[in-house]
Structure 1
């Protein structure tokens, strides 16, 4: 868990009543870009978390500090009731008060101290981790009657309604409901979910490439628009409603055909991966991860040559069972399935090879450094 130094809390919040909200980052094991097409996803939480300490003010004025930001950007101010998008990290804080007020909750001014271990631009949902942590702090501070499922929906609205990024529901749900050593099987259409235990015979490694990605870029928006266009042409509610062998897929013009083919096949891979987990068939799980990466590379076209090479290096390691890019794409992290007891060694070998061959500065996130 992320700890906020006591001296930071005292310096910024004084001796007022203080609450702390926390939320983990997440890695998506399989089921990429399916959440905005009504599909299935299978994320799990990672050890790195975001913590937010908050205290109420007597008026509507609010301030926030973040040690994760450059020194000249660490402190921000806004007024509750006058929130306006600023195009900076403060939007996740003032967005929280804005969506809470829009949902009918009473929120006054507050000060917050933020510290996060989830790397920015890593594809591990640093934004959803922050949003959920801020909302949890405000829920406790103002004693709001919000459960974790509703809170996840509010976290999504911070990005979709306030910031203007068309994200799916997976990230906030995973950061809100995920549990250690278990994968979260989520149906993004009806929000039904189950926790599926990861067998003790397997481990996952997560390695940040060092190539930063951003879901606010035009490429992410374009993929969503392409999926929406394919959905309209096929005459279905969601691409999730199209069968893998539906011949109508072949009638779509490229790149819509490829985009739809990825979504349809990826949903099948998620269902297969859940079945593999329950049957403890991790070799099959690894093969499905490999297939997911190939689809993201060739059909969805969200990978990069450097990421593809990282995945190849990972698969070549003794004890590795499968590997894929994870997150929105165009950089970020890879996730590697290994035999039990092998994740740290495999991750170390991959990181060293990537440094030597590609000149990148990768960071091993899972297993968490001792």
Structure 2
């Protein structure tokens, strides 16, 4: 079936918009604790094409759902969760209407290069692309930060995934090759370019995760309980001087606090190392972050640990760590400049041989094949 917008709906789109996925360089599980994060956009994008209708009907087609030929439909004002991909679109129109924005019905075609369940914000990329597309289609008065905050509402209030603000902020305002240093409590941000001498690598492990599933919720609830017991609003309010009393909390709460507090410190140290182009220090911070996620926050899995260990053993890799919410997903590595493609290929090959999984190299992107 020809699934172009024209073939699906009988006319061309009026708006064509995209939003990237993101990789978090460091700062994991700190955003919903009011802390610091350091994401960066990746080349893979979510694309949306839209056209207005004269009624209140929404018709949507997704190229990535494995249900080729099926157009999903719903009525504006009658959004209700179906526990499928259409919930992201329903969530977007629901939060926009609640925020006072006027929409009519529309048709939309969605396609994405960001792999699902990879720890690279495929859902936030979708939310932001849809919000930016509707902003263009209906001339909505929204800036990119407001788009990000609405995207977070979609996930939390409609889809039911208790995520922080990092993912939609990164997919809304971050760029490739430039880290976004974000204070999630104060909503202040600064762009920090990657230094010369380093090639970023992102490898998807092939083990998918799901933020709306139980383990992610449990970690967030543990942090909220620990903050309550320690008498602070959020774990961001703690420093390393508070760790002795935090470590007296019932296990595993003390270890959860230790991860968040030390991870915030690592983000600040990483920003400083980026500015100084201190590549060995960046590597140390990456490995320390991964070990903290593995031992204190317990969000890694054996396949991810294997990828990180293969990075440790490679002479061209400065550092490697789990990126994203965990329980699968992807790793981010920093390699010596000019070696990224070769390093990614050999580590992915060794990983495939040892794990039986099918990894995908997302950064650096393979060059496009020449056209015949």
Tell me the TM-score normalized by structure 1: 0.97
Name 1:3's counterpart in structure 2: none
> Given the alignment, which residue of 3, 24, 27 partners 1:28?
24
Aligned length: 366
Instruction: Give the Cα separation in 2 of the matches to 1:16 and 1:201.
Output: 45
Structure 1 segment 1-370 matched on structure 2, within 5 A: 8-15=4-11, 18-71=14-67, 74-246=70-242, 247-370=244-367
Name 2:370's counterpart in structure 1: none
User: Contact 2:17/2:49 (CA < 8 Å) preserved in 1?
Assistant: yes
2: distance between equivalents of 1:7 and 1:41? 38
C-alpha distance after superposition, 1:306-348 (max 9, x if no partner):
2111110112112100000111101000011111111111110
Deviation at 1:45, TM superposition (A): 0.5
Could you list the per-position Cα deviations for residues 60-89 of structure 1 after superposition, in whole angstroms to 9, with x for gaps in the alignment? 111111111112584211111111111000
CA distance in 2, matches of 1:180, 1:217: 29
2: CA distance between counterparts of 1:92 and 1:309? 33
Distance 1:291 1:17 in 2: 48
Shift of 1:116: 0.2
Name the CA shift for 1:74/1:349 in 2 (closer, same or farther; >3 Å): farther
Is the 1:49–1:116 contact (alpha carbons within 8 Å) kept by the matching residues of 2?
A: yes
CA deviation map 1:220-246 (0-9, x unaligned): 000000000000011112111111132
Unpaired runs of at least 5, structure 2: 368-372
Question: After superposition, what is the alpha-carbon deviation per residue over 1:76-118, rounded to whole angstroms, capped at 9, x for unaligned?
Answer: 1111111111100001111111110000000111110001000
Where do 4+ consecutive residues of structure 1 move more than 4 Å?
none
1:74 and 1:282 map into 2 onto residues whose CA distance is: 49
Instruction: Compute the displacement of 1:12 (Å).
Output: 2.3
Cα-Cα RMSD: 1.4
**d(CA) in 1 for partners of 2:321, 2:304:** 9
- Inter-partner Cα distance in structure 1 for 2:13 and 2:73: 20
- For 2:186 and 2:16, locate their aligned partners in 1 and report how far apart those are by CA, in whole Å: 30
Partner SS state of residue 240, structure 2: coil
Equivalent-residue separation in structure 2 for 1:74 and 1:152 (angstroms):
29
Return the alpha-carbon distance in structure 2 between the equivalents of residues 109 and 253 of structure 1. Answer: 52
DSSP-derived class of the 2:48 partner: strand
Q: Which runs of 5+ in 1 are unaligned?
A: 1-5
**TM-score normalised by the chain length of structure 2:** 0.96
3-state SS of 1:331 partner = coil
157-166 vs 15-24, greater mean Cα deviation? 15-24
Deviates more, 1:319-328 or 1:239-248: 239-248
Deviation (angstroms), 1:359: 0.8
In structure 2, what is the Cα distance between the partners aligned to 1:150 and 1:86? 26
Distance (Å, rounded) in 1 between the aligned partners of 2:9 and 2:20:
23
Deviation, structure 1 residue 17: 5.3
Distance 2:68 2:83 in 1: 16
